[in-house]
Structure 1
């Protein structure tokens, strides 16, 4: 290893121990250096090949220098202070700081440093390992930017829904059709609620189903406990959320008029899962189960209303389906989407 051999100076390991150390340091991909706090300015007395590759310096440019030579104009001095404190207290420290290579390029360095003592318990060296975590920092920065953009989109989306609502209200009043405009606005608001809590992580390309389900249904169970949620972190593409939101809105309003939410004791279970049964293999399924409502005698008139026709049309566009059955205990419904839309 030329002059990256175990140590420069009289305190070098000797014999088999030194050879093993040298071979181990030569093979590891982690950049490693040792400094000697007994010498003036705690210079580097050993570095391995990975340290040279990481920094761009040769061993002859490294040995004898304090590690601060890797710092630059944008190195965070708070992190540097943590290093100084660890050296002063002979303690272990892990910090991330911006360092600079010989060619002037920067990299994020995950530095682990700690003391090494001799057989008498006397401080002999400080050990430092360096790991280039620049890609992790870049990914985190991209994630922060994506979330900031998602928040801006969320803000603008709320404004769009508000404008749509105002237009619907004005149109309804001008046509003397306030009930029609009210129903349209309820559906617009349901769409808005389905997207609002999920936009922050929409940059991932998918949206968590449970967040949308809870947001859409929250107004129909203001005290909590009437609607029971059964699901996990299953995700689906954003386009499917609009269908889920509108469908759950129609089911909830139907339940308030005719079903389990029309009295003080009924409950609704909402479950979402990935279904692999033989009838719907490869589907995202959202189940709606009502219990404790008034007696059911066939499908109520609302079954053939405008709301469910809108839902059926939207689901058909997304290759989905809505199956409804009126059992003795209440409405049982299932929404199905192709598995390509789940994740």
Structure 2
């Protein structure tokens, strides 16, 4: 930073003496009106004392002007102030450099605040160092928000880990029970549904600190195993986030539709395709999903509608106050599903 030429001596507490004429007046007005806490230190005096502190600085720290002027800024430090940013400040002063640090400072009454300090040199027109300028900003709320966000992410990661373990344990129990009772095929069918639920959560749960999951990612995760060549599925939909309950219902419904398409529908034929579209409807209070099959063989709709998968889907939607319609078009099955996004449990 650079200002007009300044005399060699000045009166402590009146930093504008170093700026001539109109510059001094403008300096005083700017410092008085700004809400940013600002201080100036004299680099030519012993121990770099504060020679100017505006009203915002005094309000931030709780000290009066007489208690601030002539002291080094370290008087705002305390027992929990980290020495690392202090070292960076000291180095910047030695090198006449600019530095921005966050450090814990103490007010006069002993309370702490996180100070985002911007420190830099001020030169006159001859290139001579006349001050070190410091602006202080109370970022305690910002730091608290960061800590809460980090805590939420850590909790989400832990929840993700536990849910993955839970799905693995349940899957293992189903497999063991199936072998013991001689119903391996039934156990495999149940496990396929468990795995579909796991996929719906697994790819996005690490970021679900807000208690919701991005619906598009969940849909793609559930259906990706059925589209290994990436030619049988087409997606189109919103990127909105949904509560966990909605994700559970959607994940199981899409799994049943995909299983049906593999056995009897579009994916039972070479070149069969499925188009999946989703959007928010009813003033964003519901999620609408369309499932449109093309290129599959003609199927016995009555037999499918009596199947286990159909029963599961209908009961899930009934319990979640959702709805489903099925149309057996010439091009293939067309399904419309609506799931509430609020109070879906």
- TM-score bracket, normalised by the shorter chain, equals 0.7 to 0.9
From 264, 277, 284, the equivalent of 1:271 is 277
Q: For 1:53 and 1:131, how far apart are their aligned partners in 2? A: 12
Aligned match of 2:198: 192
Q: For 1:9 and 1:246, how far apart are their aligned partners in 2? A: 71
Aligned match of 1:331: 333
- Tell me, yes or no, if the aligned pair for 1:298 and 1:326 is still in contact at 8 Å: no
Q: For 2:188 and 2:324, how far apart are their aligned partners in 1? A: 24
How big is each residue's C-alpha offset from its partner over 1:7-64, in whole Å with a ceiling of 9 and x where there is no partner? 4468444655434433332332221111122222222111112111212222222212
- Tell me, yes or no, if the aligned pair for 1:6 and 1:12 is still in contact at 8 Å: no
SS of match in other structure, 1:33:
strand
SS of match in other structure, 2:204:
helix
Report the alpha carbon displacement of residue 184 of structure 1 after superposing the two structures with TM. Answer: 1.0
SS of match in other structure, 1:91:
coil
Aligned match of 1:44: 50
Q: 1:268 to 1:118 in 2, by over 3 A?
A: same
Q: 1:227 to 1:247 in 2, by over 3 A?
A: same
- Tell me, yes or no, if the aligned pair for 1:295 and 1:328 is still in contact at 8 Å: no
Report the alpha carbon displacement of residue 247 of structure 1 after superposing the two structures with TM. Answer: 0.6
SS of match in other structure, 1:254:
helix
Q: 1:47 to 1:219 in 2, by over 3 A?
A: same
- Tell me, yes or no, if the aligned pair for 1:198 and 1:211 is still in contact at 8 Å: yes
- Tell me, yes or no, if the aligned pair for 1:284 and 1:341 is still in contact at 8 Å: no
Aligned match of 2:128: 122
> TM-score when scaled to structure 2?
0.86
Q: 1:124 to 1:329 in 2, by over 3 A?
A: farther
Report the alpha carbon displacement of residue 281 of structure 1 after superposing the two structures with TM. Answer: 7.5
Aligned match of 1:262: 268
Q: For 1:216 and 1:207, how far apart are their aligned partners in 2? A: 13
Aligned match of 1:151: 157
From 293, 303, 320, the equivalent of 1:290 is 293
Aligned match of 2:306: 304
Aligned match of 1:317: 319
Task: Name stretches of at least 5 consecutive residues in structure 1 with no aligned partner.
Answer: none
Q: 1:167 to 1:9 in 2, by over 3 A?
A: closer
Task: Name stretches of at least 5 consecutive residues in structure 2 with no aligned partner.
Answer: 1-10
SS of match in other structure, 1:203:
coil
- Tell me, yes or no, if the aligned pair for 2:32 and 2:55 is still in contact at 8 Å: yes
Q: For 1:123 and 1:136, how far apart are their aligned partners in 2? A: 33
Matched, 1:131 2:137: yes
> TM-score when scaled to structure 1?
0.87
Report the alpha carbon displacement of residue 243 of structure 1 after superposing the two structures with TM. Answer: 0.3
Q: 1:58 to 1:85 in 2, by over 3 A?
A: same
Aligned match of 1:182: 188
Q: For 2:12 and 2:232, how far apart are their aligned partners in 1? A: 71
Q: State the superposition RMSD in angstroms.
A: 2.6
Q: Indicate the larger mover: 220-229 or 24-33.
A: 220-229
Matched, 1:76 2:82: yes
Q: For 1:136 and 1:152, how far apart are their aligned partners in 2? A: 24
